[in-house]
Amino acid sequence: MSKQLTTNFHSDEFKCPCCGKDDIDMNFVINLQIARDHSDVKFIITSGVRCEKHNKEVGGKETSSHLKGLACDLVAQNSSTRGLLLKAIYHSFLRVGIGKDFIHVDDDMVKAQNVTWLY
């Protein structure tokens, strides 16, 4: 059963698609909501929490922050949406990955901070 976590996010949006693992970090969700509050663009989550099996299936690293419930990927299908998402995301996150059609954000404090990378 989906729970409303914040104004714009439900627990189902973060669940692992293969097993239903749903241990998303609530502080991460709060930071995501803060970023969303700074945006006129809807945040569509394509990947949240991952179990080890699913992480391997999608080519995630063994140290993926998705495994800890500290990350998600957001749809960014064009440069305009990507720009608006990034503008909002930088209000809350210090770790951002940019792919062709998605943006990765995470709150993993054991990893390098103030970084942006490309996929």
Cα gap 25→99, rounded to integer Å:
23
How many Å from the N-terminal Cα to the C-terminal Cα in the chain?
33
| DSSP letter for each residue of 6-42 | SSS-BGGGGS-TTT------HHHHHHHHHHHHT-SS-
At 104, the pLDDT band (50, 70, 90 cuts) reads very high
Residue 1 pLDDT: 77
Q: Which residues of 15-28 are buried (b: 16+ CB within 10 A; e: fewer)?
A: bbeeeebbebbeeb
Q: Report the share of the chain in percent with pLDDT over 70.
A: 100
15 contacts: CB under 8 Å, gap ≥ 6? 21, 22, 48, 49
Cα gap 30→76, rounded to integer Å:
21
β 95-98/115-118 pair status: parallel
**Under a CB-based contact definition with an 8 Å cutoff, are residues 71 and 107 in contact?**
yes
63 three-state secondary structure: coil
Cα gap 42→55, rounded to integer Å:
25
Residue 29 pLDDT: 98
pLDDT, average across residues 10-32 = 97
**What is the fold, at CATH topology level, of the domain defined by 11-118?**
Muramoyl-pentapeptide Carboxypeptidase; domain 2 (3.30.1380)
Tens digits of residue pLDDT in 44-65:
999 999 999 999 999 999 999 9
